[in-house]
Structure 1
Amino acid sequence: MGKAKKTRKFAMVKRVMSSKDAKKNSHQVDTTAKIQTKDSELVKEVPQISSALFFQFNQSLSPPYQVLIDTNFINFSIQKKIDLFRGMMDSLYAKCIPMITDCVMAELEKLGPRYRIALKIARDEQVERIKCSHKGTYADDCLVSRVMQHKCYIVATNDADLKRRIRKIPGVPILSVGSHSYVVERLPDVF
């Protein structure tokens, strides 16, 4: 018969603490660091909230809704075969005024001939054009700045990054393309 190997039990093995161990250093924390973190927590700036917002309800949102449209919203609408104007009216249960900024139009024109159907929909007479006064043609920044200035818009987008940025702004609903229809996020209830 062979000889059985003896293994050490975990409780019997002594652990040597290194100089970089967290438990050892946690007791030696400076009190000045604690005071600095407390001061930085007290100085947080609270953003100015619009007077049109009453608790969670945005009083400046009322029919006919003004909907700011992003490029990918139009592209997803075409992919899912949803009519832009009828889909908005069906999801919001009211008349909608689709609006496109100059930056979104420039972004659609840059995409080339592959997106000519989206460009044709954007140039429709029913879609209202908004002039941009800023430099550059980055549509996401344009939409976010416009919504922060005037909280009377619903933003129609499927861009995850733009949705994340708009969710931080209180009182602004988001319209996105679902599986067979449009989905409204954070539209206040009628009271």
Structure 2
Amino acid sequence: MPKAKKVRKFAAVKRVMSSKEAKKRSPQSEPAAPKKDAELVKEIPQVSSALFFQYNRSLTPPYQVLIDTNFINFSIRKKIDLFRGLMDSLYAKCIPIITDCVMAELEKLGPRYRIALRIARDEKIERLKCTHKGTYADDCIVQRIMQHKCYIVATNDADLKRRIRKVPGVPILSVGSHAYVVERLPEVF
């Protein structure tokens, strides 16, 4: 009769430490040498004078709203009128703005997004000229809000939202279930 193989129980196996981990954990290891003052000093970005405790005082009605490609697409899917939705969510007059990069991105998407392109070409929406190379809209929008903190960014892109959240004082507008949702807009002063 053959002998049955012994199977180790799950999670009952001891973890083997590598030599690097052993050095880190041993109390005999020497503390790291103090760093020079030149290495500790880092370049601190200049903060906008309009910011006061993370609240941007340059955001006043009429609001200038930078619109991203997917914001228009989600607005169409949720059947929200762009202009009326902006007015209802921000309770003030809004100036929707589209950069050349966003327009190029919409044109590249093809005939499936012709309704979004028609909305973007509306005369009520202002156009901003781009002077940089390439047509990557996310970089263009982030670059604009870093230079001028007078915009509200309308997007549903998770990566772009993450990048914008790192910039203090810039509100984000996104499409919710039946209306637009505003994130980080300061209260009335």
Match of 2:161 in 1: 163
- TM-score, with normalisation over the residues of structure 1? 0.84
**Which of 54, 57, 60 does residue 56 from structure 1 map onto?**
54
Amino acid corresponding to residue 178 of structure 2 in structure 1: H
Match of 1:94 in 2: 92
Please give the alpha-carbon distance, in whole angstroms, between the structure 2 residues aligned to 1:19 and 1:98: 57
Amino acid corresponding to residue 29 of structure 2 in structure 1: V
Structure 1's 83 and 38: CA in aligned 2 closer, same or farther, altered over 3 A? Answer: same
- Percent sequence identity over aligned pairs: 78
**Which of 136, 139, 147 does residue 138 from structure 1 map onto?**
136
Structure 1's 22 and 142: CA in aligned 2 closer, same or farther, altered over 3 A? Answer: same
Amino acid corresponding to residue 107 of structure 1 in structure 2: E
Structure 1's 37 and 181: CA in aligned 2 closer, same or farther, altered over 3 A? Answer: farther
Which structure 1 residue ranges, 4+ long, deviate > 4 Å from structure 2?
37-40
Please list, as runs of the form range in 1=range in 2, the aligned pairs for 1:103-114 lying within 5 A after superposition: 103-114=101-112
Please list, as runs of the form range in 1=range in 2, the aligned pairs for 1:1-191 lying within 5 A after superposition: 20=19, 22-23=21-22, 25-26=24-25, 27-31=27-31, 33-36=32-35, 42-191=40-189
The unaligned stretches of length 5 or more in structure 1 are: 1-14
Amino acid corresponding to residue 82 of structure 1 in structure 2: I
Amino acid corresponding to residue 20 of structure 1 in structure 2: S
Tell me by how many angstroms 1:25 deviates.
4.4
Please give the alpha-carbon distance, in whole angstroms, between the structure 1 residues aligned to 2:88 and 2:18: 65
Q: Secondary structure at the match of 1:86?
A: helix
Tell me by how many angstroms 1:38 deviates.
9.2
Amino acid corresponding to residue 86 of structure 1 in structure 2: R
The structure richer in helix per residue is 1
Please give the alpha-carbon distance, in whole angstroms, between the structure 2 residues aligned to 1:66 and 1:186: 15
Larger radius of gyration: 1
Q: Secondary structure at the match of 1:35?
A: coil
Please give the alpha-carbon distance, in whole angstroms, between the structure 2 residues aligned to 1:76 and 1:18: 50
Structure 1's 20 and 104: CA in aligned 2 closer, same or farther, altered over 3 A? Answer: same
Please give the alpha-carbon distance, in whole angstroms, between the structure 2 residues aligned to 1:21 and 1:149: 45
Please give the alpha-carbon distance, in whole angstroms, between the structure 2 residues aligned to 1:37 and 1:163: 37
Q: Secondary structure at the match of 2:85?
A: helix
Write the deviation string for residues 64-115 of structure 1: whole angstroms up to 9, x where unpaired. Answer: 0000000000000000000000000000000000000000000000000000
Match of 2:5 in 1: none
Match of 1:6 in 2: none
RMSD: 2.1
